[in-house]
Structure 1
Amino acid sequence: MKTWYHSWRAAIRIARRDAWRAKGRSSLVLAMIALPIVGVSAADVTLRSSELSTEQRIERTLGAADAQLSDSGMNGVPILQPPDGEGYTTVEEFENSGPPEGKTDIRKALPAGSTMLSDTEGNAKLRTTHGLLATEVRELKASDPIAKGIMALTQGRFPQKSDEVAATTHFLKESGHKVGAKLTARGFDREYRIVGAYELPSSLKTNQVNFLPGAFLAPYDKVAEKAGQRGGGASTTYLVDTKSSFTWNMVQQANTKGVVVKSRAVLLDPPPKSEVPIYERSGWGSFETSSAGQAAALAAAATVVGLAILEICLLAGPAFAVGARRSRRQLGLVGANGGARSHIRAIVLAGGLVIGVAAAVIGTVLGLLLTLALQSTLEGWMGQRFGSLDIRPLELLGIALLAVFTGVMAALVPAITSSRQSVLASLTGRRGVRKSSRVLPVIGLVAILLGGTIALYGSTKSDQIVLVGAGSGLAELGIIALTPALVGLFGRFGRFLPLSPRLALRDAVRNRGRTAPAVAAVLAAVAGTVAVATYAASDDAKFKAEYHAQLPHGAAYVQVHEGGGRDVPSVRATVAKHLPVAVQADVDRIVVGDTNCSLYSYGKGCGYYEVVVPPAHECPLWKADPANPESTPADKYTKAERRKLSQDWRCKDGGAGAPGENVMVGDGKLLTVLGINDPAAEKALSEGKIVSLDRRYVDSGKAGAGGKVGIRLISDTEAAEKAQQEGKKVPGEIKSFDAYQMPESTKGYGVSLIVAPATVKAAALKTIPLGAYYSTEKMPSSEQAQRLDGQLDKTGAEVNLHIERGYVSRNNIVLLALTIFAGLITIGAAGIATGLAQADAEADLKTLAAVGAPPRVRRTLSGFQCGVVAVMGVVLGSAAGILPAIGLRMAEERQQTKWYQDALDQGYDPGTAPYFPLVLPWETFLLLLIAVPLGAALLAALVTRSRGALARREAT
């Protein structure tokens, strides 16, 4: 008795034999299906291997210790903490005043008989073969058994003496040092010898140097403090070995002494939430991922997988159709010998099954081998070592079954088409009369209208941006369904074309069964590329509009904020030596109090100044009311008034008071470097006036007019802070100067006021050198900038150097990659359609050869057939891809505008109004519309043989 099993067994044997005979076509389809499987399986193994278990995470954090203890910095006040030790709060809630500050004696929290190992981290600038490198410093006795697992030694040994260090391999690579070299720090005369190299398994890209406890940070901080520089900012934790386990009860006891604990035992076996007091506080324990968020993530993943399967089916479907048509005589013989239509469908579907299984096996194996071969590279990209090679058979089986499903789905349409052919048509090679579906275009049109409506609603009415993507995706599927009808419309342009492209277009239109899937595949790839490219180009235009140049293009400035200006002369000379300087403008800064204070120091003996804003120029929305300092100034205005005032120049230009670095003491050369050519401004400087580039500060506020500018000198910083909190006038002496207001269109590049040195001296104000501004003869090269950085490092000063290179687009590489991807898909799909066309048109080509057509006709026709498919797909895809990009930009702009207006309505300062331009990536369009189809056509013409062998007419 014959059953379905025997039928499918025979079908699979036939499909396997046909696949082996047509190795080229089979390899092409197998590669299409297997390549995604290689990527997905490799990604699965990589992600699973990079997910650390709890034990592995503990080992990389605690080493072999039972717990890690750290000071909360609250002078021993009792605290509450979660089991993982991430965060804490005090038991007592302090409302008016904050919790007390101070150190805690951690030894009081240690269990009896415990062993403790200190672990101190800080930062320092270490000298390298190139200059200076900001580096993380860690004082930990890494050779101690308690620390085993935190650092992985790769070369040499860990330090054993106070003048020995070990360094991460990344630091050695960045610094140019090697094991055995000497290491020094800036401003620190001690030398250390590098005796080993190690890596941090969870942070491979960290620049870190390991010292013994007390060997570096404490003396380094003392030297830095004497020089008026920042120290290492050390913080210390303690690794504890209790000879047993550090239980949750022990953790809570340590919390009563103000100590935060990360316990190995608690991390491995956390207590129930009912036993964790901190979870009773509002806001704690509520950071779990919501089911809605998980559902959205799963929906997004399902959408991506679905579109990938659709793309593969659209590409592989025509290839199976080629095989079915080449085997139509064999399929006709099956029918002539009593085979049913189901048997013919089974044979064609078995072809998809055979290739799908082969692709699943090959893709999965290659994915595993690829992960093993690239493990070190992948770990370098991720910045961490694998915990272990984690292979999950069920997940890989699911990925493999996806390949099998894709292969069967790709063969489904050719199988149905082949089974509908009559036995006589299959045996004689006749194609019969084929009518296009009338239902499919209607479905496609409905999907386009429905998807467009959903996308329009999502971009103009709803707050759910996901609706824009869903609607756009539905509309794109509708266009794919409408593709056969759209291909027919392209045929109307044939009358305007020369002979060869007209024949190619007519052939494509008459054989929509093979043309439409290839066009749809190109459409889907190009639509996604155009959508992302349009959004990226628009986003890039937004960033460019928001970019604020600090200087004219090619200019540079250098500033030194610390050290009382003693390093400025050497820094100025270094920059002038290594840059192609045209004009150098030296600038100083005004100081209040001790001249050794840095620009941002407001401690004892260090004051500051602020530029007085005339009352008429203060923004009404943010002007405080002295009688009621706790009230919001905007409360007295209606919503309409707030929105109107937000466009007022007083509110758009910023808040009151310019930072100290925006007032420069300089001469007319500074105007030249800033690109300001105004003789009146130069004259005003020579006359002792202040040149104002910000109209807020001059009481007249009119361009070209005279006026007054006030600078308030604040020496008592505590009294000033108190006055600001109470909404009162800040105490301090005000120096008044005559001023010249520049036109509003003048760009100051962050400079608000320019004061001549003679003017400052006449007002008895103290100044110290700040730096210099430079205009250059040409844009400094990257090599010049690197050389300059290295020379500035040798000065030992904290130098702030900026070379204005203008806005640099971040999306050029992305757009190029997208274009290349779409081009490859287009060429592949067009090539498949061309191969199918050649299979179908073999008889016509032989007829042309028989009547004397030149050999190049075959080559020319193939090229135009491929180009026609590419052009149709690119044109339709470009039109389909613009819709989601426009919808997303509109939705994002509406959402941002709503937030901006809500902030104004509630009395907050929302900053600059949102700006969301829509920019079309014309370069990408031109490449897709011209270069890609032309390249596809030329490639098809080159790989097509000029001559075809004439064949005898088959006996009928």
Structure 2
Amino acid sequence: MTNWFHSWRAAVRIARRDAWRFKGRSFLVLAMIALPILGVSAADLTLRSSELSTQEKLERSLGAADARLSDPELGGAAILQSPDAENYAPAKDYENAPWPSGGTDVSKAVPAGGTTLVDSSGGAKLRTAHGLLQTEIRELKAADPMARGIMTLQQGHFPKKSDEVAATTAFLEASGLKVGQTLTARGFDRTYRIVGAYELPSDLKNSQVNALPGAFLAPYGKALEAAGLQSQGVSTTYLLKIDGGFTWNMVVETNKKGVLVASAAVQLNPPADADVPLFQKEGWNNYELSAGAQAAALAAIGTVVGLAMLEICLLAGPAFAVGARRSRRQLGLVGANGGDRRHIRAIVLAGGLVIGVAAAVIGTVLGIVLTFALQPVLEDSMGKRFGSFDVRPLELLGIALLAVLTGLLAAIVPAITASRQTVLASLTGRRGVRRSSRVLPVVGLVAVATGAAIALYGSVVSDQFVIVAAGSALAELGVVALTPALVGLFGRLGRWMPLSPRLALRDAVRNRGRTAPAVAAVLAAVAGTVAVATYAASRDAQDRATYRAELPYGAVSVMIDEDGGRDVPAVREAVQRHFPVDLRADVDRIAVGKANCSSMYSGEKGCGRYEIVVPKANVCPLWASTTDGSDPSERFTKEQRRDLAKDWRCASSNEGGAYIEGGLLIADAKLLKILGINDSAAEKALADGKIVSFDKRQLDKAGKIGIKLITDTEAADRASEKGLEAPGETKTFGTYLMPDGTKSYGLSGVISPATAKEAGLRAVPYGAFYSTDQMPSSEQRQKLDAEIARIGSAANLHLEEGFVSKNSIVLLALTVFAGLITIGAAGIATGLAQADAEADLKTLAAVGAPPRVRRTLSGFQCGVVAAMGVVLGSAAGVLPAVGLRLTEERQELKFYQQALDGGWGGVNPPHVPIVVPWETLAALLVAVPLGAALLAALVTRSRGALARRAAT
């Protein structure tokens, strides 16, 4: 035991001295290992610090209160909830029964002896230094001890009077206002003074204004209603303080009253799952909390860490090998003085241990320091404050041990190689004749064949991509095992090359122990990049084929459905002013009931809706309403559903386009021209008082369309649930049906303003459509966005730019990433090759080789490693992408068959193409090796140091 300890201590001392003597090589390997450790440790600290404890979460959501009571908006029905109040469901099954109507009076659920604090939220358009800003208004007495912790005061004080408000720092920054200035809202003549600035610790980017309860929202809503405008909804919750806390039994009893409860006591000490009625409810899915989800997450993390370690080992291994060869005389002296092979191995492994420990210490310390120094920046970018600077020693120790393990793994192969050299070869500097392993290529071939077979099985037979990933990984490892043999095959190309590339190839083949790991590292990086790039390019092709344009290319639409169209004229003119408009078509919508309803499906009091009547003969049998509320498709067999899915009545009309409530717009013939419809008969039909229709299902036998005006929406909903016709007045219009195949861009029909007025339909300004003579520039869009922001309207603006690839930046980033890894790995291999082949370079100089040979040789050495790695990586990377696409194709075909069996109309056969990104491959295959070679040639000195005669 003592001998083992002393021998290892001596080995560590020798390794430490050797690392200090060769600082450049040691720093290179240390940085290679320390940088990932720095990133992982910083990520761990950031994640743990931002991960709030239950107590910290409760402080930010409940303050010092014991519970928060809120209305889940389920009509007052009894509910079941989870202990954390994040999930809830009605206690009763309402699948075949009508939902209860009305709301829940939360105040009546407050237990006796409890003290409450009202917390209400709504919205308002506030006047700022730049115009108007839609802002959340929160009425909460923030200075009350019960609310302590919900808001963090930054400046001034919280409101004490009804005409005072405080604002978040995000609002002040966005609005251009400051503490001490006044604040007003649009349509509201009351003035408020900003007396304080605060922040929400868990939502730093939220623009919010705080007022006392009843000081803003109620009078603001009354002012809007008096002006005939629609006030925004207000949600109210109650913070509760009660002796003894709010227990789980109290939560269950309160749920019976239709009230949701977030309890501090329950979340700090949650009940067992068996005591939670929600978790016992059939169909409840709690996958995120299951062991399977945690295992999947751990598997993903393990895969990433494993690949990172493999990459580092492949790059650091050659450095240790060169270091061992540079120290072979020293190792020979150890053997000459009685040291055996295990001592040699110990010295080389100790080198990995020393570098690994140094990398672990430096990387961990730098990770802690950088995270602490950048904490404000990290908090701002994440949008929330850390709970505390959470340093977990065991996790950091585990990360540090990862660095030590990586250093040891990288030194294993060089240690075994160095220990096999004879003492005489080490002392004389002769390398001897080294034969390549004959077993490793066989193992590699078997792994490639087996991995390819597994990946093929996973993509063609199984639906599990895990099988494809496992097979692809095995095949890639097989290619790595084949790398030394493949390097030898590349070397045969040297006979047809000039001097410098021939020397570079010969050097790569002779020193496969140094070349193969570097090539394998490049291979791994390029394979991953090619796999992701191939998948991304294939998805792009699929998305392009399934893309549905909302408008013709270059056309613009703007829609506003709030405040009864009050801001529509101003927004129309703003678009006309800033965009290169060729033609403009103003559009209106049909309003039933109050004109200022935010939506015809909003259910607001006094707001009705309209429906285009579909004759019963044209209704798809799969969608027809039933009197008992059952699924109509269940009346048919699978074969009948497949046939009905192809029926014209069941075809989907969703071909893309802007969402238009009811599908009908009031507009003139200019709208048809903007939509690319050049049909003189359609224009004449509009002028003659007919509706231009894009859906033949809406036409009755006489070729007319009926529009039903529904004023009592609740009665209409009850009739619909019973399969009855909704009550309301129906107006009939003549129709011109557009030919099949005409793109409607989401429209079901167009009616002229004159026809609508004559029929008694009330029109409300809705927006406009525009055609442009050229694509608006970025500057023009920014100016328009700024003016719309000043108007303060929630306008839905769309500019049709056609299909825009979301992966172009991703592909570029992947190409740059793979290029940097390739150049870095090739550069490392080249630097090691120069250090290892210094004697050969001196020999070249001695026999009269020009100085430029050294530079060109260095460039070709780097280019050879890069080229070999890129070629092999490109071939290996296509397999997993193809396997994934084939798996997705099988899954989509399965879904398509299920859709046909279910009778779903308008479902098209899947289109899952496989596209190879030739641009990315060309950049990797040509530009990267060429760039690596040129860079290596530029940074290499033409003349080396003068050779000194070795002592004999």
Counterpart mapping for 1:509-548 below 5 A: 509-548=509-548
Instruction: Note if 1:954 corresponds to 2:937.
Output: no
Q: What are the ranges of 5 or more consecutive residues in structure 1 without an aligned counterpart?
A: 701-706
Deviates more, 1:835-844 or 1:874-883: 835-844
Counterpart mapping for 1:276-355 below 5 A: 281-282=281-282, 289-355=289-355
Change (3 A) 1:181 1:910: farther
Instruction: Note if 1:837 corresponds to 2:833.
Output: yes
User: Which one-letter code corresponds to 1:334 in the other structure?
Assistant: V
1:179 — aligned with what?
Answer: 179
Deviates more, 1:767-776 or 1:143-152: 767-776
1:703 — aligned with what?
Answer: none
User: Which one-letter code corresponds to 1:69 in the other structure?
Assistant: L
On the 8 A contact 1:904/1:910 being kept in 2, the answer is no
On the 8 A contact 1:612/1:709 being kept in 2, the answer is no
2:653 — aligned with what?
Answer: 654
Residue 785 of structure 1, aligned match among 781, 784, 804: 781
Counterpart mapping for 1:594-605 below 5 A: 600=600
For the residues of structure 2 that align with 1:263 and 1:594, how far apart are their CA atoms? 41
For the residues of structure 1 that align with 2:323 and 2:792, how far apart are their CA atoms? 73
| TM-superposition CA deviations, 1:416-448 (whole Å, max 9, x none) | 111112222222222211111111111111111
Change (3 A) 1:917 1:244: same
For the residues of structure 2 that align with 1:4 and 1:464, how far apart are their CA atoms? 50
> What TM-score results when the alignment is normalised by the length of structure 2?
0.92
What is the deviation of 1:528?
0.9
2:401 — aligned with what?
Answer: 401
For the residues of structure 1 that align with 2:3 and 2:275, how far apart are their CA atoms? 64
Change (3 A) 1:207 1:537: farther
User: Which one-letter code corresponds to 1:106 in the other structure?
Assistant: S
1:588 — aligned with what?
Answer: 588
Deviates more, 1:762-771 or 1:782-791: 762-771
What is the deviation of 1:522?
0.2
On the 8 A contact 1:104/1:257 being kept in 2, the answer is no
On the 8 A contact 2:230/2:596 being kept in 1, the answer is no
For the residues of structure 1 that align with 2:14 and 2:825, how far apart are their CA atoms? 27
On the 8 A contact 1:610/1:659 being kept in 2, the answer is no
1:748 — aligned with what?
Answer: 744
For the residues of structure 2 that align with 1:278 and 1:753, how far apart are their CA atoms? 46
1:704 — aligned with what?
Answer: none
Q: Work out the number of aligned pairs and report it.
A: 946
Deviates more, 1:908-917 or 1:164-173: 908-917
What is the deviation of 1:18?
1.2
Deviates more, 1:927-936 or 1:533-542: 533-542
What is the deviation of 1:724?
3.6
For the residues of structure 2 that align with 1:363 and 1:479, how far apart are their CA atoms? 32
Counterpart mapping for 1:589-628 below 5 A: 589-591=589-591, 600=600, 607-611=608-612, 619=620, 622-624=622-624
Deviates more, 1:2-11 or 1:641-650: 641-650
1:936 — aligned with what?
Answer: 932
For the residues of structure 2 that align with 1:671 and 1:441, how far apart are their CA atoms? 68
For the residues of structure 2 that align with 1:106 and 1:606, how far apart are their CA atoms? 29
For the residues of structure 2 that align with 1:626 and 1:262, how far apart are their CA atoms? 40
For the residues of structure 2 that align with 1:800 and 1:480, how far apart are their CA atoms? 53
Instruction: Note if 1:828 corresponds to 2:824.
Output: yes
On the 8 A contact 1:425/1:432 being kept in 2, the answer is yes
On the 8 A contact 2:134/2:792 being kept in 1, the answer is no
On the 8 A contact 2:526/2:874 being kept in 1, the answer is yes
User: Which one-letter code corresponds to 1:896 in the other structure?
Assistant: E
2:736 — aligned with what?
Answer: 739
For the residues of structure 2 that align with 1:560 and 1:647, how far apart are their CA atoms? 37
User: Which one-letter code corresponds to 1:521 in the other structure?
Assistant: A
Counterpart mapping for 1:462-541 below 5 A: 462-541=462-541
For the residues of structure 2 that align with 1:181 and 1:233, how far apart are their CA atoms? 27
Q: Secondary structure at the match of 2:703?
A: strand
What is the deviation of 1:749?
2.4
User: Which one-letter code corresponds to 1:134 in the other structure?
Assistant: Q
User: Which one-letter code corresponds to 1:876 in the other structure?
Assistant: L
Deviates more, 1:126-135 or 1:481-490: 126-135
1:129 — aligned with what?
Answer: 129
For the residues of structure 2 that align with 1:210 and 1:940, how far apart are their CA atoms? 62
For the residues of structure 2 that align with 1:48 and 1:324, how far apart are their CA atoms? 41
| TM-superposition CA deviations, 1:314-344 (whole Å, max 9, x none) | 0001111121121122222222333212221
Change (3 A) 1:85 1:500: closer
2:919 — aligned with what?
Answer: 923
User: Which one-letter code corresponds to 2:653 in the other structure?
Assistant: G
Instruction: Note if 1:711 corresponds to 2:706.
Output: yes
Change (3 A) 1:336 1:695: farther
Deviates more, 1:184-193 or 1:880-889: 184-193
Change (3 A) 1:699 1:940: farther
Deviates more, 1:844-853 or 1:517-526: 844-853
Q: Secondary structure at the match of 2:289?
A: coil
For the residues of structure 2 that align with 1:427 and 1:861, how far apart are their CA atoms? 29
User: Which one-letter code corresponds to 2:706 in the other structure?
Assistant: I
Q: Secondary structure at the match of 1:482?
A: helix
| TM-superposition CA deviations, 1:386-406 (whole Å, max 9, x none) | 111111111111111111111
Instruction: Note if 1:810 corresponds to 2:796.
Output: no
What is the deviation of 1:259?
4.6
For the residues of structure 1 that align with 2:751 and 2:255, how far apart are their CA atoms? 57
RMSD of equivalent CA atoms: 3.2
> What TM-score results when the alignment is normalised by the length of structure 1?
0.91
Change (3 A) 1:361 1:615: same
Residue 849 of structure 1, aligned match among 842, 845, 848: 845
1:666 — aligned with what?
Answer: 667
Change (3 A) 1:695 1:527: farther
User: Which one-letter code corresponds to 1:668 in the other structure?
Assistant: A
Q: Secondary structure at the match of 1:403?
A: helix
| TM-superposition CA deviations, 1:437-493 (whole Å, max 9, x none) | 111111111111111121112112212221111111111111111111122222233
What is the deviation of 1:183?
2.2
What is the deviation of 1:699?
7.8
User: Which one-letter code corresponds to 1:392 in the other structure?
Assistant: R
Deviates more, 1:652-661 or 1:918-927: 652-661
For the residues of structure 2 that align with 1:597 and 1:150, how far apart are their CA atoms? 34
For the residues of structure 2 that align with 1:551 and 1:77, how far apart are their CA atoms? 43
1:456 — aligned with what?
Answer: 456
Instruction: Note if 1:868 corresponds to 2:867.
Output: no
1:242 — aligned with what?
Answer: 242
Residue 770 of structure 1, aligned match among 739, 759, 766: 766
For the residues of structure 2 that align with 1:749 and 1:802, how far apart are their CA atoms? 13
Q: Secondary structure at the match of 2:339?
A: coil
Deviates more, 1:832-841 or 1:34-43: 832-841
Instruction: Note if 1:70 corresponds to 2:93.
Output: no
For the residues of structure 2 that align with 1:83 and 1:770, how far apart are their CA atoms? 45
Change (3 A) 1:442 1:631: same
User: Which one-letter code corresponds to 2:935 in the other structure?
Assistant: L
Q: Secondary structure at the match of 1:835?
A: helix
What is the deviation of 1:61?
1.5
Change (3 A) 1:955 1:573: closer
Instruction: Give the % identical residues.
Output: 66
For the residues of structure 2 that align with 1:154 and 1:606, how far apart are their CA atoms? 43
For the residues of structure 2 that align with 1:618 and 1:115, how far apart are their CA atoms? 57
Change (3 A) 1:146 1:482: same
On the 8 A contact 1:247/1:266 being kept in 2, the answer is yes
On the 8 A contact 1:227/1:563 being kept in 2, the answer is no
User: Which one-letter code corresponds to 2:295 in the other structure?
Assistant: A
User: Which one-letter code corresponds to 1:735 in the other structure?
Assistant: T
Q: Secondary structure at the match of 2:197?
A: strand
1:883 — aligned with what?
Answer: 879
On the 8 A contact 2:534/2:916 being kept in 1, the answer is yes
For the residues of structure 2 that align with 1:470 and 1:893, how far apart are their CA atoms? 19
Counterpart mapping for 1:357-396 below 5 A: 357-396=357-396
For the residues of structure 1 that align with 2:710 and 2:857, how far apart are their CA atoms? 86
Change (3 A) 1:608 1:45: closer
On the 8 A contact 2:650/2:905 being kept in 1, the answer is no
Counterpart mapping for 1:244-259 below 5 A: 244-251=244-251, 254=254, 259=259
What is the deviation of 1:200?
1.3
Change (3 A) 1:76 1:918: closer
